[in-house]
Every structure is written in structure tokens, then in C-alpha cells.
Amino acid sequence: MRFFIDSADVSEIRDLAATGLVDGVTTNPSLIAKSGRDFVEVLREICAIVPGPISAEVAATDTPTMLAEGRYLAGIAENVVIKVPLTPDGLKACRVLTDEGTPVNVTLCFSAAQAILAAKAGARYISPFVGRLDDVGADGLGLIAELVEIYSTYPSFTTEVLVASIRHPEHVVEAAKMGAHVATLPPAVLRTMFKHPLTDKGLEAFLADWAKTGQTILKQPVQGTDDAKPARRRA
């Protein structure tokens, strides 16, 4: 499973990208509004930080304007993926952009029927919203299972399941078990995945035991990441 970061916070994206765990980024109008910054400026910065797919969503609702916006955004960087809503106009735009060689992420998917339409329209990614389905008493992860099964049945479908609206690590784990291709995670959820009380307890014990030895591994304090590079071994 690949991990995308669902954020327009450049500092968060840069910090998480340094872990080597980030394969791409998804943004949407709400995340851009939350950042309080210029959309195109933010998009350029993100594309420079993460070389993988960066989803940039159009703001229009009619096909001609979606196409104009999508083509403009796609010209910003080679790794831009155009995000369109799962509407008739959005799927028309998806078909045209896909035929032009621009990858498309179809968003706001809430049913298997919608996901079939997106695959037939040539979407590179489909974004089913598991958390929002759970919020209304539906089975968000059940939809993920359906989509993985349907897409795997038809080799002509090349659309990948991009699990969106993730609320907690269990969403990620269960979607991974089902074979979902991508999970797009809010930074807070990815950070939560690092945590376990037994990890903290074990590290605390190791450090206490090490302190008793009175030893140090490095004789000089590390000033920066370059200073921490291992010495080259001689053959």
C-alpha cells in the first residue's frame, strides 16, 4: 500500500516526507482554504518536495471550465494529478484529460456504482470516503472491499483505489488487508501509526539500562544530519 498525505500544510508535508514513507499528496479546496495561502504557490512547493503524484482539485463544476483548470494545473509540474468530482461533468472531463495523458483522481465517491463509472471514464484513482460513510451509519470499509473486488475482476480497469477520509489507523490497516492500492492520510493519523505504549515502555527501559553503563557511542555531539552520516568502510 502506498501512503499519500492529505494536507496542504507544506511544513507538515516536508517533515513527513523526510521519513521516506510518503509516496504522494492529496489536496482539496478545504485544505487549501485552511492553509490560508495561494493555491498555485502551495501546489508548486508540494510538487518540489514530493516527487510522487500530487492531486490538485479543480474548482469548476462544468466540463469546459474543469478542462481549462485541469490543463492549467497539470502544466505546473509533471507529477500533478487532476482531481475532479464524481459528477457527469466531472467524468466527461476525466475522459478527456485521461485521453490527453493527464492522470485523474475522481473524488467524492460513496458507492460501488459510482466507482464503476469512474473506472470506465479512465480515472487513474478513485477516492472513496470511508470516514464520511461511517459518519452516516454506512460501512465505509465495506465499500473499499467492494471496489477492490470489482476492479480486480476486470483487467481492463486500471483505476486504483485511493482510500480517503481516513479517521484512524484501523481504517488504514483494514483497507490494507483488503488490498487497497493507496491510503491518503491526514498528518495526525500517520503520526498516530508510529505510537504504541509498549514501544514507549520498551524504549524507556533500554535507555535506563544504557545510562547505567556510563557509555556513549559518539564522542562528539551531533550538530546536524550531515554529521550523523556513517564513515565509509574500507574494503
Just list the catalytic residues: 83
**Cβ partners under 8 Å of residue 28, min gap 6:** 57, 83, 107
Residue 78's nearest CA partner among 40, 48, 41 is 48
Cβ 126 vs Cβ 162: under 8 Å: yes
Cβ 21 vs Cβ 10: under 8 Å: no
Q: Which amino acid is at 124?
A: R
Could you give the maximum distance between any two Cα atoms of the chain, in Å? Answer: 70
Tally of CA atoms within 13 A in the half-sphere of 126 that contains its CB: 32
